Structure 1
Amino acid sequence: MGIVQRQGLRNTAISYIGLGLGFVNTVFVLPRILEDEQLGLTRVLISVATIYAQLSAVGFASMGIRFFPYFRNREAGHHGFLPFLLGLPLLGFALMTVLYLGGKPLVMEQYSSDAALLGPYYQWGVVLALFTLLYSLQDAYLKALYHTAFSSVVQEVLLRVLVAGAALAFDAGYLNFHQFVLLYIGLNSGIALLLTAYLAFIGELHLRPQREVLQVRPLGELLGFSGFALLSNISGTVISSIDALMVGSKLNLGAAGVYSVAFFISTALTIPFRSLYKIAFPLLADYWKQHDLGRMAEFYRSTTRLNTVLGCYLALGIGLNLDFIYSLMKPEYAAGATAVLLLLLGRLFDGITGVNALIVVTSPRYRYDLIFNASLAVLTVLLNLVLIPRYGLGGSAAATSLALVLINVARTWFVWHSYRLQPFDKRIPLLLGIAALAGLVGWLVPTFPSVWLTMFVRSAALTAVYGGLVLATQAVPEATPLLLTILGRSKA
């Protein structure tokens, strides 16, 4: 097995462990320990640092992965590639820092109701953003070197374990909240230093600048690609981070904390989609190479059926058991229940529309993917501006979901118009009907004195009706072996 395959398998395993730890941290550990405004503060700090670092990086992380093969020469220190990779982003960081510090009065005005809580940590945002930037650049460098497992373990596993440990120390009284926040910032910053140490350990910390770095590839080509990557990357960052920032500024940090928990509860729905997309990306690229639109069309429809059957089941399971999920947290977080349901609808539609985004990005018209991503980011911001003042947390969730629906409708139309490929067949309405019936059965299950008993009975009823009808109707032939295996194990 080659290094790429080994690293890929390790990263897949690490990613899922990290997803699980992240979900447990954000949905169960932190909401049981932190007040909503305290959790909101941590989310706002991370969101600000992420956008701050992305703007500073000017797309150099993606550029580093794309062009490093041209510079690769370990004996020559890769022609000074690492200092070049760090140099312009650090200049960008200096400029962003001037804007960030100069804009403090404007930012604090947006968070006026929580100025006393946010104010003491505003300058610490510079530290957190700097190390976030250094982490992303070193992570890109390690990816280019095919050393990806260590950075994945550090960010996906170690950091989350340490953050949980810090929260437990705060809960036990070993830390006050100020000390917890500083430790939280320190842990999120310190992982960049671990990557630096690892680069030194493997002998790849080449920090001596070299003039040759400007001669390997035209500088204009590198900067042009970086600009394209910046627009693409910042769109994704805005989509994932802007909600908490806007809820915090338009409402308060407590609402941002409640929304963050609701957002992460809804991310459980995306786990099977991500698994399928890891498989879909290389397959679609191969179909394009072979000009095999027939197989691509069948793959498009089959993945849509799988996403529909898995997505509907998980959405119903989460939605029907929200009372149980929120019973494990402080009571104030239950205010996000409506937001969870709205976010689930948007994410479910995103999954049901299939792999349209991957078809676009692997197609000859891949540049349109940037237009769709940028449009999604702009739509998300505009809809949040309109809906949060009117509907609060529910308005932000509705904004995110509506933006997802509109962009996926546009992407699906674009794929059909460009290549006459569409993801739906007659089984999709059947699956949605089965989901509606199974959801009704689960909803009719009475509430028992024990939330645990209610959850188990409701989930069992949902699973029996949903799985039984999917099997009986052969609505998803691809899922039948998996369902039979699950049912077989449950009887054993």
Structure 2
Amino acid sequence: MGIVLNQSLKNTVITYIGFAIGAINTLYMYVQFLGDTYYGLVGYVLSAANIMMPLMAFGVHNTLVKYFNEYKTEEEKSSFLTFVLLLPLLLIVPFSLVGYFGYHQIATLLSKENPIVYDYIWQIPVIGLCMGYFEIFYAWVKVHLQSVLGNFIKEVFLRILVSISLFAVYFDWITPVEFVYSLMGIYFFSMLLMKIYAYKVRFPSFKFRLPTNSKAIITYSLFIILTGGIANLFLEIDKFMLNNYVKIENIAYYSVAIFIATVIAVPSRAMHQITYPITAKLMSENKHDELNDLYKKTSITLQIVGGLIFLGILVNINQLYLLLPKEYSGGIFVVFTIGLSKYFDLILGNNNAIIFNSKYYKTVLFLGVLLVTLTVILNMIFIPLYGLKGTAFATLLSITLYSLSKLLFVVKRMKLFPFTSKTITAFGVLIGCFLLFYFWDFSFHPIINIVLKSIFVSFIYLFLSYKLKLSDDINVVMENVLRKIGF
């Protein structure tokens, strides 16, 4: 866990810096500078682009990680890297033709409830393409265990560019319409930087020759398109479908709530950058016991770190929403429900990495298809009835069922289990701290209230986690920090 912990900590710090910048963008600058209508439009365009990303990448960002270590010679590796760079063209070219000749029909269908969307539909595949190739070049450096700079570009640098563009709107240097167009440039520039860094880590020697296992690569990539598409659908389908039922301003309200809840998943995203290639390596070497140990360690570590974030959000949520316009207050229920689903997914550790690198990855696709279908049906039922609360409930139910099915699959098929008695103890610490801190507030300004309560709840939560020795890795980090500050 040495390299995992080292790079995971760096990635966690970088990701939270990015989320801090994103919080300013999401909770203030978008709301105050851009307005609800264009904020909702941005949320819709980016959600749709995220849904398209696995298609535009042809799933090769996961394929690259899975198969790279199987090649032994430099010539084989060069042929493989060239192949995965060109493979996405199999979908990009036909998609481009369909989009070009069928734009009016597609845009008309997607803009029935909100006509403003019509002129921006074409941006969705462009941004999705940039996202897709960013992930390919990011995977390129991850297989060399160099994930930190890529994470910085993705989580921090991109958000800084967005902040600059929002300030440009505020100072009337550009219009809100021009800001929406600027997003394409931001994602393209980030992809270009990632490409330059990937080539610096390993410059490709282009070998236009099919790898010996090209059939297996294409088959795996096709399944990753579907499984990755399913994962992205779970994250983004709610905002995409809201556009068809409610005014676009509601997507802005929902986006704020989703952003707050998504902060819980940051530790998982940070640790995943480095555990994914290590998981692939352990599985390729059939090291079952080491894999099971890694599974348990990632589970309890993410449960404790993510639990602290979840707890901090819940006990401060009412004060946080006092800082926003009252139109956004309906998102409190969304934060609770989506946050709960994120927490459950968090404690599964490196579950996804295990599945995607196993021989059973095709089977899980069937479960994903069923649950995406369920998600769409639930959204169609609950959004017209309950609006934002309806889609939040539909998302909670769908993601929880999907996470549970993946857990049961890994336990039954692969004889790996992430939980121990410490899992229950950690959950008890979370519930106890929530009951202790949720029902009271200081009589100060909301920001002061949030800061003070966060300090108290963090101290109690971390103290209990340390004394109960819930995670050896977290205890080592805390001891190092205490030693450096003189305790």
User: Structure 1 length as normaliser, TM-score?
Assistant: 0.79
C-alpha displacement at 1:436, in angstroms? 2.0
SS in 1 for 2:360: coil
C-alpha displacement at 1:134, in angstroms? 6.1
What letter corresponds to residue 118 of structure 2 in structure 1? Answer: G
> Retained in 1: the 8 A contact 2:8–2:271?
no
Sort the Cα spacing of 1:72 and 1:42 in 2 relative to 1 into closer, same or farther, 3 A: farther
> Retained in 1: the 8 A contact 2:239–2:251?
yes
> Retained in 2: the 8 A contact 1:56–1:133?
yes
**Which of 227, 230, 238 matches 1:243?**
238
> Retained in 1: the 8 A contact 2:234–2:399?
no
Cα distance per residue 1:162-183 (max 9 Å; x no partner): 2111111111223222232233
**Which of 329, 336, 339 matches 1:341?**
336
Alignment partners' CA distance in 2, 1:152 and 1:59: 19
Confirm whether residue 442 of structure 1 aligns to residue 437 of structure 2. Answer: yes
1:102 aligned residue = 105
> Retained in 1: the 8 A contact 2:11–2:270?
no
**Which of 449, 454, 460 matches 2:449?**
454
> Retained in 2: the 8 A contact 1:70–1:217?
no
Confirm whether residue 183 of structure 1 aligns to residue 182 of structure 2. Answer: yes
Cα distance per residue 1:94-149 (max 9 Å; x no partner): 2331344432222122xx2x21x323333444654565566566767788999988
Confirm whether residue 167 of structure 1 aligns to residue 170 of structure 2. Answer: no
SS in 2 for 1:252: coil
Note the residue ranges of structure 2 that are not aligned, 5 or more in a row.
1-5
Alignment partners' CA distance in 2, 1:195 and 1:407: 32
C-alpha displacement at 1:335, in angstroms? 2.4
Percent of aligned pairs with the same amino acid: 24
Sort the Cα spacing of 1:90 and 1:359 in 2 relative to 1 into closer, same or farther, 3 A: closer
SS in 2 for 1:422: coil
Cα distance per residue 1:34-88 (max 9 Å; x no partner): 32222110121122334345435544665677789799769x9999869844643
C-alpha displacement at 1:341, in angstroms? 1.0
Alignment partners' CA distance in 2, 1:251 and 1:60: 36
C-alpha displacement at 1:264, in angstroms? 1.4
Matches within 5 A, 1:88-487: 88-97=90-99, 98-109=101-112, 112=113, 114-115=114-115, 117-125=116-124, 127-129=126-128, 154-191=153-190, 213=208, 223-278=218-273, 280-281=275-276, 284-285=279-280, 288=283, 293-476=288-471, 478-483=473-478
Alignment partners' CA distance in 2, 1:66 and 1:73: 18
1:3 aligned residue = none
Deviates more, 1:320-329 or 1:247-256: 320-329
CA radius of gyration, larger in: 1
Deviates more, 1:292-301 or 1:317-326: 292-301
Alignment partners' CA distance in 2, 1:348 and 1:188: 29
Sort the Cα spacing of 1:107 and 1:179 in 2 relative to 1 into closer, same or farther, 3 A: same
Alignment partners' CA distance in 1, 2:145 and 2:290: 32
Sort the Cα spacing of 1:219 and 1:361 in 2 relative to 1 into closer, same or farther, 3 A: closer
C-alpha displacement at 1:339, in angstroms? 0.4
Note the residue ranges of structure 1 that are not aligned, 5 or more in a row.
1-5
CA RMSD after TM alignment: 4.3
